[in-house]
Each structure stands twice: as structure tokens, then as C-alpha cells.
Amino acid sequence: MSEEIELKFEIEPSSIKQLSTFLQTQRIDEEHSLHLTNSYYDSLDNILRRHHASIRIRGIEENAKQDEYEITLKSSGGGQSIAGLHSRLEFNAPLPNKQLNLSVLPATAFPSGLNADNLSKQLTLLFTTDFHRKTWLIYFNQSQIEVALDQGEISASGLNLPILEIELELKLGARVDLLLFAQKLSQFNIHLFSQSKAARGYRLVEGNDIKKIPQLITTNLPSSSVLPAILEFWQTNEEYALAHNDLNFYIKTLQQVNVNLTPILPSPQNEYSTELNQIYRKWFGQIRSITNIKSFAFSPINTQFKLYLMLLIF
């Protein structure tokens, strides 16, 4: 078992070459180029998703070698998911082939009330992903961070969704380093992305729209929950606005974010607060003249501001 801590971003095709060139200037320990095929399983009534878990079988091909296979069970395990930052439990085990076999997973991997025997009778293939992954294992400060560039698609019932993502996974070290390294990548017009491949696969299967949150209400929340709630509202509605090109909705979202953020922005008391307030002033100056959702959502200032706010949480 391991705890997976990662940041997920969307990236524009035009930014990939510049970002890849930048990564080559970092302290790289390993690089890999992989072809990954993934099959996701659940029951017809989504028993795994209802337990905040997912199961996939992954085929891994590197340098044209024969595929290796592994099964992965992920669960929330009390972890957090905030505006593209995901923390969850992950169990992996090798498989001899791509056939579903839950018996190789430890009993402790399964959510409460579930086990390999009762799940094996219920699970069916729901959707697949097929993508190429380029990875760089990078040393940053005292931490080890894996950067993965994924390009491919999610498929279900003859329908497809594109995959064009950057993932930053903390392999060793501090979450703060993960967020600070992401700040360096924000110059390449990347956009924090809260939707996992599994979540997008379920949405494709069910034909569901991206959700939105009509109103941000923080009045009855404990103080420690206010900023996470603001970030969830902001990220969720930004992704909805991008999908529907709804500029009016996006502007109203940012106005609510601003109204709720202003009272809780810190005075200059720690190593991040001074720069955070400087970034906030730039961000606020720009939200009053937005004419294109994607240009602003993918802008360095928008991504930097979110990442600095996350530093206040972690």
C-alpha cells in the first residue's frame, strides 16, 4: 500500500515542447516512454464508486517489449481532493495477463464491507484508456517528483474523450515541494484539473454533464474548511465554464471567489503570504477584463494563485 499524492493539469498541445525542454534542464534521475492500456471495472450499480474506490488492470509496454500487467485498487482512504490535488490510497499487484484477478490484492485493500469473493461476481468492464506516457523523475529541493505527460483517449461504448494531461506525483518528500515545483511549470499555460481518468470514464459511460456549483456558501463552515470549499467551487465551475464556453457563468464564479477570499487572505506573516497577496492583486486586476475563458483559466497568474492558496492549506 502507498499513499498517492499528485497534482493534475490540462495542457495545450502548443505548450508541450517548451515544457519538455524545461524539464530537461532539471535534476533528472530517470526518464521513461511508455504505452499504457487500462481497463476499468465496476458493477452495473457502481458498487466501487459508491465506496469511493476504483479498480483497473494496466498493460505496460516500454521499448516495444511485451506488455507487463498489474492490477490497481485506489480508494479515498480519508484523503483529500482539492482543485486538482489528489491524495488517496493505492494498492498494486502484478498479474500474469490482463484477466481480472482480485485474489492478488490484500484483504486490507478493499473498502469496508467488500472483499475479493463478493466483488469478483459483480465486476464488469466499463471503459478503457489508451495513452502514451512520458515520465521524468526529478529531484527538487529535498523531494523526488515524477512528472508524467499523458496523451491518448478514454473509450466507452463507441464514445471517446481526449487525454492531454500533466501529472506531478510526489514520490518522496514534502507536499510543499510538489506545489512549489508546480509553480515553475505554470509558465507553460497549464490548467489545474480535478477530474481523474476514472471519473471522466464514468461520466462518458453514463452520459453525464460536468457538474457545477450554483452558489458558494461558507457561512456555517469551520474556518479550516472555508478555503478548501472556495477552491472546490472555483475549480468545479471553471471546468464547467470551459466545457460549455459560458463566459457569464465564469465571471460570476470568479466574483464569488473574490468576495469570499478577500476576508481570509493572510497578512504578511509567513514566507508565502507576501507573494500571495502580490499575486492576488495581479489576479484581481485581470478578472475584471476577461474576454476568453480558456486564455484566463490556463494563464500563469490563475494557476499560480490557486497553487499559493493550496500552500496555506498544506
C-alpha cell at 231: 477552491
Q: What is the pLDDT of residue 65?
A: 79
Reduced to 3 states, what is the DSSP secondary structure of residue 171?
strand
What digits encode the pLDDT tens for the residues 31-47?
999 999 999 999 999 99
Residues of the chain with pLDDT > 90: what percent? 78
| Reduced 3-state DSSP string for 125-149 | EEEEEEEEEEEEEEEECCEEEEEEE
Region of 164 on the Ramachandran plot (φ > 0 left; ψ -120 to 50 alpha; else beta): beta
> How big is the CA angle at 174 (ends 198 and 284), to the nearest 5 degrees?
75
Locus of grid cell 515544457: 19
Q: What is the pLDDT of residue 50?
A: 93
The predicted structure's pLDDT at residue 273: 74
What is the pLDDT, as a whole number, of residue 144?
97
DSSP string for 2-35? EEEEEEEEEE-GGGHHHHHHHHTTSEEEEEEEEE
Domain boundaries, the chain: 2-206, 223-313
**Residues 192/183, Cβ–Cβ less than 8 Å:** no
Place of cell 497577496: 277
pTM: 0.92
Q: Give the residues of the chain that fall short of pLDDT 70.
A: 1-2, 77-80, 267-271
Which phi-psi region, left, alpha or beta, contains residue 235 (left: φ > 0; alpha: ψ -120 to 50)? alpha
Residue 20 has a pLDDT of 96
Tell me the DSSP string of 253-288. Answer: HHHHHHHHHGGGSPPS-STTHHHHHHHHHHHHHHHT
Q: Which CATH class is domain 2-206?
A: mainly beta
Residue 255 has a pLDDT of 96
With vertex at residue 142, the alpha carbon angle to CA 141 and CA 145, rounded to the nearest 5 degrees, is 80
Query: Which of 308, 303, 309, 286 is CA-nearest to residue 19?
Result: 303
Q: C-alpha distances in angstroms, 204 versus 4, 159, 160, 200?
A: 25, 7, 8, 6
